[in-house]
Structure 1
Amino acid sequence: MNKIYCPSLTEYQRRQTIEVTIGDLPMGGENPIRVQSMTTVDTMDTMGSVEQVIRMVEAGCEYVRITAPSVAEAENLRHIKAELRNRGYNVPLIADIHFTPNAAELAAKIVEKVRINPGNYADKKKFNIIEYTDETYQAELDRIRERFVPLVKICKEHGTAMRIGTNHGSLSDRILSRYGDTPLGMVESALEFLRICEDLNYHNIVLSMKASNTQVMVQAYRLLVQKLEEEGLKPYPLHLGVTEAGEAEDGRIKSAVGIGTLLEDGLGDTVRVSLTEAPEFEAPVARTLIDRYTNRAGHEPIKPICNIPINPFQYERRHTHEVLNLGGTNVPRVVADLSQLDALQYADLKCVGHLYSMLLDKFNMSDLGADYIYTGNNPISFMLPNGLKEIVDHEAWQTAENREERYPLLTAKQYLSEAEKSAEVNFVQLNLHDLTPEMIDALKTDKTAVAVLQTSNAHAMAELRKGFFRLMNNGCEVPVIIRRDYTEMLSETTQLYASTDVGGLLIDGLGDGILLGTSSMAPKTKTEWLERIDNLNKLSFGILQAARTRMSKTEYISCPSCGRTLFDLQETTAMIRKRTDHLKGVKIGIMGCIVNGPGEMADADYGYVGVGKGKIALYRGQTVMKKSVPEEKAVDELINLIREDGKWIEPVILETENV
């Protein structure tokens, strides 16, 4: 199998693409990675759209997309564009098209770029399973060509660019029937339309493979690049995005896990972060992700990888032996770093999800309760709650009381020496250079060892990945905790960087735990330290959830809103979250309209979809259960649906009085 999908797995190199002309701001080629977003105002509201576009541009958007669900909206793009030009804003506009070829053909004469979704543009999406022969399949392709060719010719004539944007949740019945709900199906859906463009010598094209599931999204983009190369097609620029990422911290983490993973390997020419928030809040997040690579070239060298031991197009968790509750079939564990604090009290463990009730003299563990705490040279002086285990530096472990209740962290040198070790678990802190043949041989035969893999290389994910590959290529199945330490920086920046570095590994099945270290941080007070540790603990669980490797809370697959939206998405998402955020592992899709309805929330358990003003459709999976529920009753009806399936539990109020 050809596993090559990027310029290099070890040296940061931007993938070289053709340049695409989009107004006066080209994409791809030698141009920087561009930032874009999408309006949420009704497209027929000319002045409202103009004002929002201006806010987006001033927030950093270089391209702005506007929905055009019908000819009327497509025509009004003319007025929006004219008013923007009158005010001195020349930002290229992109018309977002789903079902209506006639709207696309009109918009292509007005704006600089059109986006079509091959899953429902001149194709069929009725959730039917159809058996196609080669002849009937080709007949459908011929029908699509007939509908699609006029748009291509208009784009050529007017110098309009096009994004062929596949969405995981809106693959057509025809694609699903032949390829299934797979990254390959996503890629083939786009390639069918791309081949028509190539036949007509039209190349002003950008491609995207968006999904809410970060594993599927990353695999699809990688496979797309590989297929373009395999078929001898041009290296078209890529539009990166995780669709329906959600809101607030969860939306940012999920976006970084998907987008950042691809940027690390040099893929991507424009980024759109899809948050259930005002669109002007999306651009700064995208910019933070992109700017990390401005000076990435020239990082500390990493030797090339000769053998890739994973399938980059399909998730499979690395096989490891079990040590205590690490590795094997256990979910990845969270290790919280408390090593910079001493004289800890019961109440301080609240920052790692273990809440002490002075009234009851007992601990309650939240859904985000850390599995281990690392205390460095400051062992805890009291008995830890059940389920929480302690890691200490080897020197402190040697002299600590009750050594059987804690586990040592050894350096590579200590581990290979005759230093005293635990009979149960020994954590070994390593970097790539420590993974010598001697070390690997020792780890292979030691059923008490757990590696803690870290790096100081600016190209962190690549070096950590190389470490995993070295272990795998040498048959070493030791469990590995991924450790990353960040210098003091804005909380959101840490959030995005950690989600990229660790999430990118987890997506490939690499990693049995996560430790976000605090050794490089310098808060001034204990309160600031506890707040920082609390944030890192929540971030660790958020990364695991975004990478689909450990579900510890309710997941909300909510669209970022656009001019088609039929209710206030931010308000509704907050209301649904307030009522349901205790339902661990349940996935709820919240979609503003039927376009982003049952298809886009492809792997949600339940769906809340706008179908008309004040009317909501409720779904179980992709099956509509209630078609027209009044908006004021819809959340209660959603809860009733969850209750009918036996998935509803009453929220528990924990006793949290602190000493």
Structure 2
Amino acid sequence: MQTIEQPIAPREDKLFDTTIHRRQTRAVKVGSVTIGGNNPVVVQSMINEDTLDIDGSVAGIRRLHEIGCEIVRVTVPSMAHARALAEIKQKLADTYQPVPLVADVHHNGMKIALEVAKHVDKVRINPGLYVFEKPKGDRTEYSQTEFEEIGAKIKETLEPLVISLRDQGKAMRIGVNHGSLAERMLFTYGDTPEGMVESALEFIRICESLDFKNLIISLKASRVPVMLSAYRLMVKKMDELGMSYPLHLGVTEAGDGEYGRIKSTAGIGTLLAEGIGDTIRVSLTEAPEKEIPVCYSILQALGLRKTMVEYVACPSCGRTLFNLEEVLHKVREATKHLTGLDIAVMGCIVNGPGEMADADYGYVGRQPGFISLYRGREEIRKVPEAEGVEQLIQLIKDDGKWVDP
């Protein structure tokens, strides 16, 4: 997918500044993609094929990558799944192209993680599950000694993976989930954003003690207020500690349909607008390919990536001189394959030219049966409504901005 990438503007303390000033973070390479630094926000998703299905997994990864997913995650619940990644990676290279891959490792997965680290560009671990603590039904607290003993065990099991990734120049995502905090974190901090942040910091400190900083951090929750609080607290703590790791944003288990999209946008979009976040994944209970348009729509709406036409359209009123919904649909269908343009469809001449002033092209109701076509603020021609879409396309072609679908 062709994109026009928006550079990060320098910070300016100006009232009414409309630029999003992204938090400066470390640049972390994941295969051919770099997360953080001055790079655009990266789009991710995850295939739902069983990784043992080599052909199915390759097809799923390719489908996602072809529509703009820049990093693809797979799950590796066993050693057999981890070894299958070698075949998947090779088949992608032979039949398509290399794609940055991330492996998800859970539940005492040190051996699995060490194997899969040979074949992928990033390993994602969940601190609440990487060293599983068997709950004790009669426990009322963790002593400091018990807390530290488990911490030492975590370091012992994590160290080989950290060294492997460090020596290969690969990356790790420390992916905390609100719903799977370790028991001792729950007893110590409660089921809170603070517990999520402390869980991440424990793993970060282990990595730093081994001189490994190719880290991406996530603190996902299924409830938007918890997710927002966790990420904001993480930024505050990292700033205090002199850390600048890039953040992977997401609302986990957002569901499906309109509400799943709104919920994801509420969480991801809010943080991005605050300058927080370097890579995103929208988690929908739908085919993974449905997640990518939502990611790009969020980024486009905030002006962080421009990957499609931006359509400006009035909501319609009594002054509207044509079927606005129908015409907008026709204009969108004719031009949706283009990149980097702003096109306005406005119902009347009263407010239309002023409200669409920032658009590259405008389609405005002039009088019954006729519309005016604009280039920026300049009215170019008046044409019969029946020829409006065709003439709009011709105007774009005249300006050399048209490409065939």
How does the TM-score come out when normalised to structure 2? Answer: 0.71
What does the per-residue CA deviation read over 1:526-560, in whole Å, with 9 as the maximum and x for residues that have no partner? Answer: xxxxxxxxxxxxxxxxxxxxxxxxxxxxxxxxxxx
The structure with the greater share of residues assigned to helix is 2
Contact conserved, 1:27 with 1:270, CA < 8 A, in 2? yes
- Secondary structure (helix, strand or coil) at the match of 2:127 reads coil
- Whichever of the two has the greater Rg, that structure is 1
Question: Against the structure 1 CA distance between its residues 59 and 177, is the aligned structure 2 distance closer, same or farther, given a 3 Å change threshold?
Answer: same
1:169 aligned onto 2:179: yes
- 1:144 corresponds in structure 2 to 154
Q: CA deviation at 1:160?
A: 1.5
> Pairwise mapping of residues 390-429 of structure 1 onto structure 2 (< 5 A)?
none
Contact conserved, 1:118 with 1:193, CA < 8 A, in 2? yes
Moved over 6 A (4+): 6-10, 520-524
Q: Percent identity?
A: 50
- 1:389 corresponds in structure 2 to none
Tell me, in whole angstroms, the C-alpha distance in 2 between the residues paired with 1:167 and 1:63. 20
- 1:187 corresponds in structure 2 to 197
- Secondary structure (helix, strand or coil) at the match of 1:267 reads coil
- 1:249 corresponds in structure 2 to 258
> Pairwise mapping of residues 318-397 of structure 1 onto structure 2 (< 5 A)?
340=317
* 2:172 counterpart letter in structure 1: M
Contact conserved, 2:251 with 2:268, CA < 8 A, in 1? yes
Contact conserved, 2:74 with 2:104, CA < 8 A, in 1? yes
Contact conserved, 1:183 with 1:219, CA < 8 A, in 2? yes
- 2:351 corresponds in structure 1 to none
- 2:338 corresponds in structure 1 to none
1:28 aligned onto 2:36: yes
- 1:205 corresponds in structure 2 to 215
Question: Against the structure 1 CA distance between its residues 125 and 283, is the aligned structure 2 distance closer, same or farther, given a 3 Å change threshold?
Answer: farther
Alignment RMSD: 2.8
Q: CA deviation at 1:341?
A: 6.0
* 1:194 counterpart letter in structure 2: I
Contact conserved, 1:17 with 1:28, CA < 8 A, in 2? yes
Question: Against the structure 1 CA distance between its residues 200 and 7, is the aligned structure 2 distance closer, same or farther, given a 3 Å change threshold?
Answer: farther
Question: Against the structure 1 CA distance between its residues 278 and 130, is the aligned structure 2 distance closer, same or farther, given a 3 Å change threshold?
Answer: same
Q: CA deviation at 1:489?
A: 7.6
- 2:293 corresponds in structure 1 to 284
Question: Against the structure 1 CA distance between its residues 260 and 240, is the aligned structure 2 distance closer, same or farther, given a 3 Å change threshold?
Answer: same
- 1:71 corresponds in structure 2 to 79
> Pairwise mapping of residues 246-325 of structure 1 onto structure 2 (< 5 A)?
246-294=255-303
Q: CA deviation at 1:168?
A: 0.5
1:131 aligned onto 2:110: no
Tell me, in whole angstroms, the C-alpha distance in 1 between the residues paired with 2:285 and 2:298. 18
- 1:361 corresponds in structure 2 to none
Q: CA deviation at 1:293?
A: 3.5
What does the per-residue CA deviation read over 1:369-413, in whole Å, with 9 as the maximum and x for residues that have no partner? Answer: xxxxxxxxxxxxxxxxxxxxxxxxxxxxxxxxxxxxxxxxxxxxx
- Secondary structure (helix, strand or coil) at the match of 2:21 reads coil
1:158 aligned onto 2:168: yes
- Secondary structure (helix, strand or coil) at the match of 2:130 reads coil
1:50 aligned onto 2:52: no
Q: CA deviation at 1:145?
A: 0.7
**2:121 maps to which of 109, 112, 126:** 112
1:240 aligned onto 2:249: yes
Contact conserved, 1:124 with 1:172, CA < 8 A, in 2? yes
Contact conserved, 2:62 with 2:96, CA < 8 A, in 1? no
Question: Against the structure 1 CA distance between its residues 191 and 38, is the aligned structure 2 distance closer, same or farther, given a 3 Å change threshold?
Answer: same
- 1:374 corresponds in structure 2 to none
Tell me, in whole angstroms, the C-alpha distance in 2 between the residues paired with 1:151 and 1:78. 17
Question: Against the structure 1 CA distance between its residues 294 and 147, is the aligned structure 2 distance closer, same or farther, given a 3 Å change threshold?
Answer: same
Tell me, in whole angstroms, the C-alpha distance in 2 between the residues paired with 1:226 and 1:110. 35
1:178 aligned onto 2:188: yes
The number of residues matched between the two structures is 306
Tell me, in whole angstroms, the C-alpha distance in 2 between the residues paired with 1:41 and 1:523. 47
- Secondary structure (helix, strand or coil) at the match of 2:172 reads strand
Q: CA deviation at 1:132?
A: 1.1
Mind listing any 5+ residue stretches in structure 2 that lack a counterpart?
1-10, 306-314, 320-326, 333-354, 357-362, 366-405
